Amino acid sequence: MKTPPWLALALLAFAVRAGVAILTEHKPIFPSHYYNDARSADSHGSEVAAAWAAGRAHEPSGSPSQRLHAVYLGSLYRAFGHRPLIPKLINCAAAGATIALLYGLFTALFGPGPALASALLVALWPSHIFFTSQNFKESATQLLATFAIASAALAGKAARGRLLAGGLALAGVGFLRTLTMLVGELALGLAALVAMRARDGRARALLTVAALALLHLPLRQYLFRGPLAVSAERSGDPSHETSLIPSSYDHRTQARFSPLSPRGFSEFRRLRLEADQDYARRSGLRVESQLFPDERFETWLDVALFVPKASFYALFMPLPGLYPLDGKPGRIAAAAENALLLALTVAAALGLRRGPLDSPRALLLLFFLGMAAASGLGELDLGGAARHKTLYLPFVLPFAFYGLAKRR
């Protein structure tokens, strides 16, 4: 009996990632700083599990999404003992499911050839393999976001259950990466306008998923001002804020900056960058890949002019000849990978001319463009940018392979 392509892709993706997960449990394959965030998550989860085992409540530290992740890990460690390989393998399985979903979505919109090429590339994408095989939130975020986009793009008028599930999935994204949920909402709304203009009947499905995702707001208030609230003495720490758009607090001047004005955004970035530098110094690390630490903004025009440059860096740096590689194997590998991704993105731009941009395809493109712009504005270092782009860059790949197939 022939194995369906979606299942073969899912199994391949899981097997490769599980191998990397098992390997890194015994012998890290990258320098220590590649695992900083994963180690921090593991530490917080262990603290939660230890507190529960001792019969006392524990207040997870960090941002709202970090607190939720700590409780999730703590639950696994409480049930199975401190075995970091378990959440890693769960992440590997989620990545396999995501790639199967991508194949199904791309097949419906672009045909089996471009879909298979795109999904196979994601399955074997080295950065994607690494980040979805470790103790990061990327696998869960990608699975929920991909399911939400696919539900909105493919659901017809009768698929109410699929729309409900898609809306709830996008609401779930908000607990992991709020900015991704907000960009998804914007992409759904703009795609609905495309559907209305074309009168293709999909606008209601797109708007339904967007509306259901707003359930995230009351649930967020309940969780992070209730069971996962922080104590009064720590509430002044900006990392514990529950607002959708957080602020940064300058302890020297006691001023709080929210990224809702050009000056506020400028100071917001400066304080976050300085906090990362302070953390690195305390940990005996060197900060090498921060993005534009000296950039300052006075007007919205300054911010608008910053977006293309910053988005390019978030998507494609390091690149050979444009970023110092210093003979470091990790940078050299990343540069080779990024050169391929840049070429495919250019091919995707050319491929847009070879097919109709209906509302489902527009949704994929709008989500990619929105996330690229948001990442350019919000990313503070190349490491975070590389991890986060594994979520949104796959959505542009089928445009490239579709255009290349049409040229033959």
- Is the link from the previous residue into 318 a cis peptide, with omega within 30 of 0? yes
CA–CA distance, 18 with 24 (Å, rounded to integer): 10
Instruction: Return the pLDDT at 272.
Output: 83
386 CB-side CA count, 13 A:
23
Q: What is the rounded CA–CA span in Å between residue 99 and residue 61?
A: 32
Going by C-beta distance under 8 Å and a sequence separation of 6 or more, which residues neighbour residue 188? Answer: 152, 206, 207, 209, 210, 363
Distance from C-alpha of 329 to C-alpha of 397, rounded to nearest angstrom = 26
Q: Are 138 and 390 in contact (CB under 8 A)?
A: yes
As averages over each run of 10 residues, the pLDDT of the chain (408 residues) reads 89 97 88 80 90 80 83 93 94 98 96 96 96 94 96 76 91 92 95 89 89 90 78 50 70 76 85 78 70 88 92 92 81 92 94 83 96 91 90 96 81
Q: What is the pLDDT of residue 67?
A: 86
Cβ count near 329 (within 10 Å): 10
**What per-residue confidence (pLDDT) applies to 232?**
46
**Would you give the end-to-end CA distance of the chain in angstroms?**
32
Q: What is the pLDDT of residue 239?
A: 52
Give the model's pLDDT for residue 110. Answer: 94
Contacts for 31 with CB less than 8 Å, ≥ 6 apart: 330
Give the span between the Cα atoms of 313 and 404, in whole angstroms. 25
Say what the pTM is: 0.91
Contact in structure between 207 and 192 (CB atoms under 8 Å): yes
Q: Torsion-angle region of residue 183: left (phi > 0), alpha (psi -120 to 50) or beta? A: alpha
Q: Provide the pLDDT for residue 379.
A: 87
